[in-house]
Structure formats: C-alpha cells, structure tokens
Amino acid sequence: MGAQITEENGEKGVRFTVWAPNALHVGLAANMNHWNGHNHSLYKIPESGLWSRFFAGIQEGTFYKYDITSSNGERFLKADPFAVRAELRPATASIVARLDGYTWSDSAWRRKKREPYGKPVNIYEIHLGTWRQKEDGSFYTYREIADMLVPYIQEMGYTHIEIMPLSEHPYDLSWGYQLTGYFALTSRYGCPQDFMYFVDQCHQAGIGVILDWVPAHFAKDAHGLRLFDGSPLFEYADPLTAEKPGWGTLTFDFGKPEVRSFLISNALFWMDVYHIDGLRVDAVTSMLRLDFEKEEGRFSRNARGGIENEEAAAFLQQLNETVFNYYPYALMMAEESSAWPGVTRATSEGGLGFNYKWNMGWMNDTLKYMETGFSERPKRHNLLTFPICYAYSENFTLPLSHDEVVHGKKSLLDKMPGSYEQKFAGLRVLLGYQMTSPGKKLLFMGGEFGQFIEWKDQEALDWFLLDYDSHRKLHSYTAALNHLYLQEKALWEQDHTWDGYQWISPDDHIQSVISFVRKGKKGGALIVLINFQPVERTQYRIGVERPGSYAEIFNSDREEFGGSGLVHTEILRTVKVPWHGQKQSLELTLPPLGMVILKKTVKPRRRKLL
C-alpha cells in the first residue's frame, strides 16, 4: 500500500496503491502534473477495492495526492493514508519517501527478553515540541532532542519515555491526538531517519520508547480519511456512531476488516520500522462505549440493545493478539477510564488482552485528596485507602499525565494547598506516594522540577526555574526517588500480586497518616510511612512483623530536598510492645508533609577464626 519506490520491467519509479472501493476514478495528482490526476489514472483491481499503478520516472521527494472522483461525480484530492512522509503543516500533500538508509545499533536491546511485570517501569511522558525549544521558539529536530534528552533521562533514573502522538496531524494544539496521516511520522521535527536515530540512542542507553497511539478516532480535515472515496469508508456510516461531537472527530468503523487491518498494520509498523517498544492506546473507553459523552437519543445501541461497542472490543482483542504474536514483550497500555472488566486479562479468558491499564481511579482519587485543604483531609482519608481495594484487579500503571496539568487544572505543584514551602513538601509527598504504591509509574514532563504554571502546550517548559533553590532541590529529590525505585526490588518485583503489599495502618485518618509494607520476592521489604499533614508527629508507633533493627533509607524531608531536615540518623530498634496486630513495634518521628522509608538492617556474619 502507499507509494513504494521500486523497479518494474527494468524501469525505476513508484507503485501507488490505495483502497477506494466506491470511487469512480482515482488518479495521481502531483507537482509534476499541476495537481490534476485526470490523465494519470490508477487501475482498479477487480473485487478488491484497490487501485494501483506503477509510474516510471517518479523519484523520492515527489509531492502527491490522490485525485478521486466519487460515485456521485464529485472530484477532490486526498492525502495517501499509507504515506510515510507528509508536508510540514499547514501544507497537506504526501511525499514519496524511503524508510531505509539508517543503520541501527540497538541489536543488544532488541535481543533482551524483558517481561515487564516483575521489572521496574518508570515512564517520563514528553511532548517533543514543548520539552525544550530553540531561542526563537522553533522546534529542535529528533536528532537534537535525542542528544539532550537521553543523558537527562539517564541522570533522572527513568526507565522509559512515552512520547505524545507523532503521526502527522494538521493542528499543533491537538497535541497529535487528531490525526490525518497514521503512517507518516510528523515532519515537525525532521525525517524518518532522524527519528530512527532518536529511538536508537534511547535503546543504546537502556531506555525504552513508548508511543502514544490513537486508534479511536481521526480528524475531519478534507485531505484526510473522512469520506475518503466519497463515502463513509474509514468511519461508521451511521453518524450517531461515527461522530465524536466533544472532540470534533470521527470514529473508525471497527467492523470492517480493511479498517482493522489498517490500524493493526499501523501498530506493527511503528514497532517494525521504528523499533518502538510499546503503545499507549489512547481513549479506549470512547471506543468501547457507544454512549461515550453522548446523551440519550444521540447514540445508537448495539444489536442486543446495549451500549457496548462489541466490534471495538473484538478489534482490541485482535490488535493485542497480533502485536504479542510478533512482539511478546511489547508494552500495550490502555488509557481506559471506565470499569470495563478484564482490560488486562488474556483474550483467551475473555479479556481485551492489554498488559497494562492506566489507573485513572487512583489518579483521580489521589489528586482530589492532595488538592484538599489540610483541615478537611481527615474526612477524605478514604481517597487514600480505597484505591488499594482494586489495585490488583488489573495490571496498573499509575499516571500523573499531561491531562491533569492543562485547561485550568493547574500544575501538580500549584494543586498543593498551603504556603510556598508546603506546596513543595506536598509535591514531594505526592511523588513519593506514587512511587511506593503498587503499579508502574508515569510522570509528565515538568512535574519532576515543579513547573509552577500549568503546561502551556505551545511554549517550552520553564527550565529557568532550576535557577531557584526550591525547584533545584525538588529536581534532586525526584532523581533520588527514581534511583531508589530502581534499586529496591520491593517497589516493583510484586507489583501485581497481594504478596507485594501489606497495610500496617490504613485507618489513622485523624492524623492523616498511612503506613504499609512493600515486599520483594526474596526479602528486602520496605516500611513506608506518609504524613499528609504539615504537623510533626513525634513518638509515632507502628507495629512491625519482624523484630530487629531498622534504618531510614529515604526521607522526603531531607534538607538537600528542600525539607526541614527532620531525619533519623540513628538505627531504630523494635520493642516488645504489641501494636497494629504485631507482637513488636517501633517508634519514630514523622516529619510534616513527609515520607519516611525504613528497611531492616542485616547483621554482618561472623567470620570463623582459622
């Protein structure tokens, strides 16, 4: 499909192939024929819906569209759905391009068997156009970003980056979520080989790359997929099912095998050609529910009278089965915000077959609690404890994503109540709570150093804030927390089983304190205590399962992190005072708006005398 540079009958040129079953005529419109394809017709392949023709003499770099005549005689130009390059917006033509010519050096990374469940996964979500910008506000290229971003990710201790959509899209402020060219890497930041370099550099540095992928809907722009051959081809024919009125987009017709093939081929394309390690599948709930953001009478029900889009569910199952057949260790993460059962259950058991689901419930409850004033927090303590009740119902990722820091929602730092200092302490606690809770992690760029203004989506992050002490120390805190996560298996080795988590005290709502244990497979358990009030808690007692000595291995209140320095330098020892259902307990001081992590010390073995 698309424009294939090739040689036929001894002549070099390009074969163009496109799906347009209801068209009366398809021609090639290009800069060579003044964008009139009347005399450059493609040939219709009987009973396939495909049009195809080889044109000799056409070379790489040729700009083109398809000149289509619909069944009612209307004539219009369309970009190639399978084009691998497109003009820089606002221009909309497709470009004949090669995807070869780059020599990869990531074979060692690709050979690794990386079952993700018992491994650390800590994702840095990034929008390439606004992570950094040049002084004149223009974009860096994929290569330039790679040379800056890869060392930064290594320094900060993230395991993966997740990039907001990179398929071609006409409007910057859609952030890439309203697409016109699924196979065309956006030209905003360079050419395909530049992005190959980007991914290659990440892999050589041990960093995985996840791409935000949008199979739920597409943009209505005239050159795109809408009414591609004059009829509803990629979208549903029923407008009540096709329309996504809240987003101004159209839903793919998941019942058509050609549409399913288009999307599944595209998913594999990113992994085959660009070596992407996984996909974050956007807006899954909008695919599964026919009534998504629609009032009664504005949607069509399924054949059984229900609101489930059974065709979409079957598509997602086929997608995951196919991806995992070719890439068994890929990350397939669903952004699914409803209580749809079995999102990460195997398709053989009736599930959708993803291996991860974004935990939107945890995100909503946690941010709602963190935005609550200190005096009201005791009344909302359940927002901290309820998410554990379903923490193991799916394989979860805990997201603090771009959606939570735009459109008047405030930045993570500015969501925190209290004084300037308390806001920083609160954000340290939020990040610590996320890192120690069961599930993989995701943080949107800027959160790591306390971007004070919400994401501006047209301008670069405020990196100048690192000139200020509080932001610089928060930045150091995030890096230290990330590296602690990498070091301590208890924080990720049993993320998806109750064997990895145990409450010590979930119900101290009066003091707004929670305490729990994270456990690895072979010991190394961590005791986590988090004080969500700006009040020091002295002589705070907790029950512990194992008697002995405990050392503080992490404290969010350390001075180098911007805290008050209320830390434990001495070893803490248990006493035979029953507490929290245990035979022994220990006593410590909790810093205000602080997190303390303890670990049992190991006695050195005595050496035998010879």
* Tokens, residue 473: 């120390």
Beta strands at 356-358 and 396-400: parallel, antiparallel or unpaired: parallel
Cβ contact 263:319 at 8 Å = yes
Tell me the one-letter amino acid at 409: K
Beta strands at 63-69 and 25-30: parallel, antiparallel or unpaired: antiparallel
Looking at the chain, how many residues does it have? 610
Residue 335 annotated to the active site: yes
| Burial (CB count <10 Å: 0-12, 13-18, 19+), residue 238 | middle
Catalytic residue among 282, 311, 404, 454: 282
| Burial (CB count <10 Å: 0-12, 13-18, 19+), residue 470 | middle
Taking alpha carbons only, the member of 1, 140, 170, 165 closest to residue 80 is 1
Distance CA 185, CA 167 (A): 5
| Burial (CB count <10 Å: 0-12, 13-18, 19+), residue 609 | exposed
CA atoms lying within 13 Å on the CB side of residue 552: 22
Distance CA 294, CA 217 (A): 15
Q: How many CB atoms lie under 10 A from the CB of residue 502? A: 13
In the three-class reduction of DSSP (H, G, I as helix; E, B as strand; rest coil), residue 389 is classed as helix
CA atoms lying within 13 Å on the CB side of residue 281: 33
CA dihedral (550, 551, 557, 562) in degrees, to 10, reads -170
Distance CA 198, CA 574 (A): 51
Taking alpha carbons only, the member of 589, 498, 600 closest to residue 546 is 600
In the three-class reduction of DSSP (H, G, I as helix; E, B as strand; rest coil), residue 261 is classed as helix
Beta strands at 217-219 and 249-251: parallel, antiparallel or unpaired: antiparallel
Distance CA 73, CA 70 (A): 5
Catalytic residue among 335, 488, 493, 508: 335
Residue 295 annotated to the active site: no
Distance CA 418, CA 308 (A): 44
For helices 382-389 and 360-370, give the axis angle rounded to 10 degrees.
170
Beta strands at 331-334 and 278-281: parallel, antiparallel or unpaired: parallel
Distance CA 347, CA 315 (A): 11
Enumerate the active-site residues: 282, 335
